[in-house]
Amino acid sequence: MRSVSEHLDSILSALTPIAPLDLALPEALGTVLVEPVVAPVPLPPFDNSAMDGYAVVAADLSEVPVVLPVVGDIMAGDLSATGIRPGLAARIMTGAPMPGGADAVVPVEWTDGGTARVRIDRSAAPGNYIRRAGEDVQAGTVVLPAGTLLGAAQIGMIAAVGQARVSVRPRPRVLVLSTGNELREPGTTLATGQIWDSNSFMLTAAVTESGGVGYRLPTVGDDAEKVLEAIHDQLTRADAIITSGGVSMGARDIVKEVLTGPVEFTKVAMRPGKPQGFGLIGPQKVPIFTLPGNPVSSYVSFQTFVRPALRALQGLPPTSSDTVTAVLTADVSSPAGLRHFLRGTLSFSDGRYVVSPASAQGSHQMGALAVANGLIVAREDQAQLPAGSFVEVLRLP
Ligand code: AMP
Ligand code: MG
């Protein structure tokens, strides 16, 4: 049997990051920069007012209150601001360019708000409420390095430096296929012996939750030809493929039968999720993950192997730091030599994380998974974990 980390390493070493694309900014959420973004100009680009108020010469306010004539209004977006001279004020709005000659802004709250003349009640130092050109970002600065995962704030930053398109690794497109004669679509009626297909919905959502774009294919039965056909039909539009079911030791384990060759089937020292398969398929060498059918096995396999792989496909470090150390509320025993993932409820109290293992730990028991928010990880060398001991917990998205 292979260890979890050996299996993950063999997957990661076979992956090549997705080729970069040039995308318009609105399409770029969740993609990863392949080139740094550099500010071509300073931000702010010009000295401007930080408040709605009056642009003044600070020296005029040495004795307050003082009344000054207001020579004009300067709005945000005004192209050139007329200057002022000592003894004068100009009404100015937040973001409007500072007029020549002024060296301070007095907020409207410190005045009577006058339009022809203004009475100012407080003095101000030179520079008061002025946002200087370049005080946010200087021209030529790398505002985002290559390898940055683009979220809302990063997309805002790119727009703020005037860039409309970016060169990025896109979110991986991942096809999900459930196999099994017993599977029916949710929303239909079951005969005895049938169940509703849950894995394909769960895994498609897990892909999207992990930063990819999941596409669910219609379920196929345990039919070698149909399984192959469904996979090969879709190869050209996939960056990766996930199947569920048909990979253990049963008489109808068709996925294993038809994909042996491009896919290497292995037993991994973990619970749940022992039967695993991974390979590169078709002329495009698309990564394919063949996950076990038991829903909790499928889910844990996804989090353990597929999620890091999707990050690697975008050129990101494969593991994100979603792990915390928590205190166990109950004893856990775990088979020696296996990595054991137990469903649990994680909370934070008295300055530390606490985790309670669910009582139902069967690999078919979706009920416990659906209300869990963490996977307790009992390492290969941790056979007995008494209540009160510290364990690693993988926080679930
Ligand atoms: P298999 O890996 O195909 O031997 O399936 C193992 C167990 O998982 C069986 O009880 C299956 O009925 C169940 N199973 C397989 N695929 C799915 C699925 N897509 N949704 C829900 N349960 C499944
Ligand atoms: Mg099956």
Question: Which residues are within 5 Å of ligand 2 (an ion), measured at CB?
Answer: 180, 245-246, 293
Burial of 70 (0-12, 13-18, 19+ CB in 10 A): middle
**How far is the C-alpha of 126 from the C-alpha of 105, rounded, in Å?**
9
DSSP class per residue in 159-192:
HHTT--EEEEEPPPEEEEEEB-TTEE-TTSPPPT
Predicted pLDDT at 243: 98
**End-to-end distance of the chain based on CA atoms, in angstroms?**
29
Predicted pLDDT at 252: 84
State the alpha helices, DSSP H only, in the chain: 4-14, 152-160, 199-209, 224-234, 254-259, 295-301, 307-313, 366-371
pLDDT tens figures, 154-196: 999 999 999 999 999 999 999 999 999 999 999 999 999 999 9
Contact (CB, 8 A) for 71 and 90: yes
Q: What is the best residue among 177, 179, 181, 183 to mutate for testing ligand 1's pocket, by most ligand atoms within 8 Å of CB?
A: 183
Q: Name the phi and psi angles at 9, rounded to 5.
A: -60, -40
Please count the other Cβ atoms lying within 10 Å of the Cβ belonging to residue 337: 11
**How far is the C-alpha of 331 from the C-alpha of 212, rounded, in Å?**
37
Cα Rg, the chain, nearest whole Å: 30
Ligand 1 mean position to 297 CA, how many Å? 10
Residue whose CA lies nearest to ligand 1 atom number 10: 294
**How far is the C-alpha of 50 from the C-alpha of 141, rounded, in Å?**
23
Predicted pLDDT at 319: 87
Q: In 305-335, which positions are buried (b, 16+ CB within 10 angstroms) versus exposed (e)?
A: bbbbbbbbbbbbebeeeeebebebeeebebe
Which ligand gives the minimal distance to the CA of 294? 1
Ligand 1 atom closest to residue 222's alpha carbon, by position in its atom list: 3
Predicted pLDDT at 19: 97
Mean pLDDT value across the chain: 97
Ligand 2 mean position to 179 CA, how many Å? 6
Residue whose CA lies nearest to ligand 1 atom number 23: 293
Q: Which residues have C-beta within 8 Å of that of residue 115, sequence separation ≥ 6?
A: 70, 91
- Choose the most confident range, by mean pLDDT, from 67-81, 95-109, 245-259: 95-109
Asked if the bond preceding 272 is cis, omega within 30° of 0, the reply is: yes
Mean pLDDT in residue range 344-372: 97
Q: 308 CB less than 6 Å from ligand 1?
A: no
Ligand 1 mean position to 270 CA, how many Å? 18
Q: 140 CB less than 6 Å from ligand 1?
A: no
Ligand 2 mean position to 340 CA, how many Å? 23
Predicted pLDDT at 321: 73
DSSP collapsed to 3 states, 105-120: EEEHHHECCCCCEEEE
Q: 244 CB less than 6 Å from ligand 1?
A: yes
**How far is the C-alpha of 320 from the C-alpha of 3, rounded, in Å?**
20
Residue 5 scores a pLDDT above 80: yes
Q: 370 CB less than 6 Å from ligand 1?
A: no
**What 3-state class would DSSP assign to 355?**
strand
- Say which residue, 251 or 46, is predicted with more confidence: 46
Predicted pLDDT at 320: 77
228: left (phi over 0), alpha (psi -120 to 50) or beta: alpha
